[in-house]
Chains A and B, each alone.
Chain A
Amino acid sequence: QQQVKQSPQSLIVQKGGISIINCAYENTAFDYFPWYQQFPGKGPALLIAIRPDVSEKKEGRFTISFNKSAKQFSLHIMDSQPGDSATYFCAASNTLQGAQKLVFGQGTRLTINP
């Protein structure tokens, strides 16, 4: 059972454009939604995270939009740069459960063309 569905699998955006990656979840107990960025040969690194008490969170060029009723959240990368080319993973966890084990989406390979 895939609890977090991520799309698209791959995305190509021109430099300066907006990259948008979407995720949908099933478990309404999830209360923590991070996005991770992974470069080849490296471990994932936390990019930005949101809790369901807010609908949007912005950090620099990165924004998470959260729709609790639709059980969807998305990552927007503004003014995309070639250095943003990486694989992005959304994830979710139920922190109240105490384990905080993350359930990951399948990943999106983002390519920013110069």
Chain B
Amino acid sequence: GAGVSQSPSNKVTEKGKDVELRCDPISGHTALYWYRQSLGQGLEFLIYFQGNSAPDKSGLPSDRFSAERTGGSVSTLTIQRTQQEDSAVYLCASSPTGDTQYFGPGTRLTVL
């Protein structure tokens, strides 16, 4: 079956611009996560959605970052007024409420 998909696969933007990153989770998975992977670093948790519950935003690095999940499925991560330090691979994962998280291929964001 289809896995987690993310778009775009690559995004190059100029400092100060806003960007939107999209995640399509595996159908039926109620939990959705966003992580950030900086060059040569491990993965850093950003935000978590579980069903209709309020999202866990504890990992968002600043108020420039926000995320939505519409209809319990597709999620969009928005970064406003991008900075060079935002350059990273943004990974989305979904889970059927169990332990296993299934990751998408990521979006590589480059801020010039």
Q: Is the CB of A44 within 8 A of B105?
A: no
Q: A49: CB under 8 A from chain B?
A: yes
| Cβ proximity bits B30-53 to A, threshold 8 Å, 1 near / 0 not | 010101000011111100101000
Q: Which of A4, A32, A42, A95 contacts B105 (CB 8 A)?
A: A42
Chain A, residue nearest B6 (CB)? A43
Q: Is the CB of A34 within 8 A of B48?
A: no
Residues of A6-36 whose CB lies within 8 A of B: 6, 32, 34, 36
Q: Is the CB of A100 within 8 A of B99?
A: yes
For B42, list chain A residues within 8 Å (CB).
Answer: 4, 6, 89, 104-107
Q: Contact residue range for chain B?
A: 20 to 34
Nearest chain A CB to B11 CB, angstrom units: 15
In the complex, A45 Cα to B93 Cα: how many Å? 10
Nearest chain A CB to B38 CB, angstrom units: 11
Q: Contact residue range for chain A?
A: 20 to 34
Is chain B's interface secondary structure helix, strand, loop, or mixed overall?
A: strand
For A43, list chain B residues within 8 Å (CB).
Answer: 4, 91, 93, 103-106
Chain A, residue nearest B33 (CB)? A101
Chain A, residue nearest B3 (CB)? A43
In the complex, A36 Cα to B103 Cα: how many Å? 10
In the complex, A10 Cα to B91 Cα: how many Å? 23
Nearest chain A CB to B56 CB, angstrom units: 5
Q: A60: CB under 8 A from chain B?
A: no
Chain A, residue nearest B93 (CB)? A43
| Cβ proximity bits B69-112 to A, threshold 8 Å, 1 near / 0 not | 00000000000000000000001010100011111111000000
Interface residues of B (CB under 8 A from A): 4, 31, 33, 35, 40-45, 48, 50, 56, 59, 91, 93, 95, 99-106
